[in-house]
Chains A and B, each alone.
Chain A
């Protein structure tokens, strides 16, 4: 499956999934909750406060997080750092989609480094969102934990370390033996 299209015969079952929706705007929170209900997610928790979201994640199982980046003082990025670095297991591994509004180079960089499985910039469609959900479930990316990044592996097709560098992963191919390959970075 690529990230551009979904086969129409594909089925998706979110009936047992618990989805945490985090958005500071009550109207867009309500709309996104309705969209996820349309996708089949019966168990949705709506949250407008990042501290409350932390409490929820510490207290119960959450299968998917959908968070709008539009919190004051880059709160959504701080939340993501807490999620990946400090939240208890299994919450720290929760698949997360980060939705960005105003998209600048700096925000794209921060979003990419935040540890989200997918970053989606507005304008957005239901097709794009469902596509990302299916893609996350299909790819099952491993998590990496380093001094500078914690989250789903951004080199999601592990074709070795960047050219000219020694790999840091145990399963990185030997640089001499490997074909020169492009380092695939995905957010």
Chain B
């Protein structure tokens, strides 16, 4: 085993808490939240467009649509990750599902469909702590668990 070399660089960034001026944490957060809000309308419109594309794919059930599900869900996740925590969690679940189904070699459109329907269902429920959201996420986890995790040992899959 080789020795670990340890270095203590002096970085300007380390002084951002000690420097005079700047803003209080509360002010910085309030400004950042305002900035985030300015983009909300566009972001949610784009998210809705992406969910619609997933819906169309789940309806048509074509092979080429299956190939797009992971990326479309990831795109939803990336926007929802800033504005809509519950849809973010559903999209993460759909990404998991798409990866598992692909690895298992069996694609199941109804499992995709229930995820996409859940995105629509939770559109007005962004709060992760909402019991209804938790219930939906538990149900989706059971759907995902029907497919083994890629790379998982047979014992873990059981």
Contact = CB atoms under 8 A, between A and B. Distances in A.
B16 interface: yes
SS class, residues of chain A in contact with chain B? loop
The size class of the interface chain B forms with chain A is 35 or more
Interface in A63-111: 63-64, 68, 70, 89-90, 93-95, 101-106
A184 B29 CA distance: 29
Contacts of B131: none
Contact of A137 (B8, B15, B20, B46): B15
A37 B33 CA distance: 11
Contacts, number: 185
A130 B28 contact: yes
A146 B4 contact: yes
B6 A171 contact: yes
Interface stretch (B53-61, B79-87, B113-121): B79-87
A112 to B, nearest CB: 17
B42 interface: yes
Contacts of B20: 13
B46 A130 contact: no
A170 interface: yes
Given A14-B16, A34-B35, A102-B74, A145 B25 contact: no
Contacts of B36: 31, 34-35, 38, 126
